Amino acid sequence: MTLLNAIVQGILLGGLYALFATGLSLVFGVMRLVNLAHGDFAVLAAYAALLLVQGWDMPVLLSLVIVVPGMALLGYVIHRSLLQRTVQPSPLPALLVTFGLSIMMQNLLLEWFSADQHRLNLGTFETASLPMMSGLTIGYLPLLVFVVAVASLGALSIFLRRTMSGRVMRATSDDQEAAQLAGVDNRHVYAVAIAIAIATVGLAGVFSGIGTNFSPSSGPILLIFAFEAVIIGGLGSLWGTLLGGIVLGVAQNIGAWIDPTQQVLVGHLVFLLVLALRPSGLLRKGALS
- Domains, the chain: 3-113+137-277 (1.10.3470)
Calpha distance 17→245 (Å, rounded) = 5
Residue 156 confidence (pLDDT): 94
Inform me whether the pLDDT recorded for 1 exceeds 70.
no
Using DSSP's 3-state secondary structure scheme, residue 214 falls into strand
- From the centroid of its chain, how far is CA 7? 21
178 vs 71: CA distance, rounded Å: 30
DSSP per-residue letters across 79-144 = HHHTGGGG-SSSSHHHHHHHHHHHHHHHHHHHHHH-S--B----GGGGT-EEEEETTEEEEHHHHH
Choice between 236 and 161, residue whose per-residue pLDDT is larger: 161
* pLDDT tens-digit series, residues 15-49: 999 999 999 999 988 888 889 999 999 999 999 99
Residue 110 to residues 101, 103, 217, Cα–Cα distance (Å) = 14, 11, 8
pTM: 0.93
pLDDT category at 266 given cuts 50, 70, 90 is: very high
Model confidence band, residue 236 (pLDDT cutoffs 50, 70, 90): confident
Average pLDDT score, the chain: 90
pLDDT digits (tens, 9 = 90+) for 109-149: 999 999 999 999 988 888 888 888 776 889 999 999 999 99
Model confidence band, residue 279 (pLDDT cutoffs 50, 70, 90): confident
**What's the whole-number mean pLDDT along residues 169-182?**
80
Distance (Å, whole) CA 199 – CA 209: 15
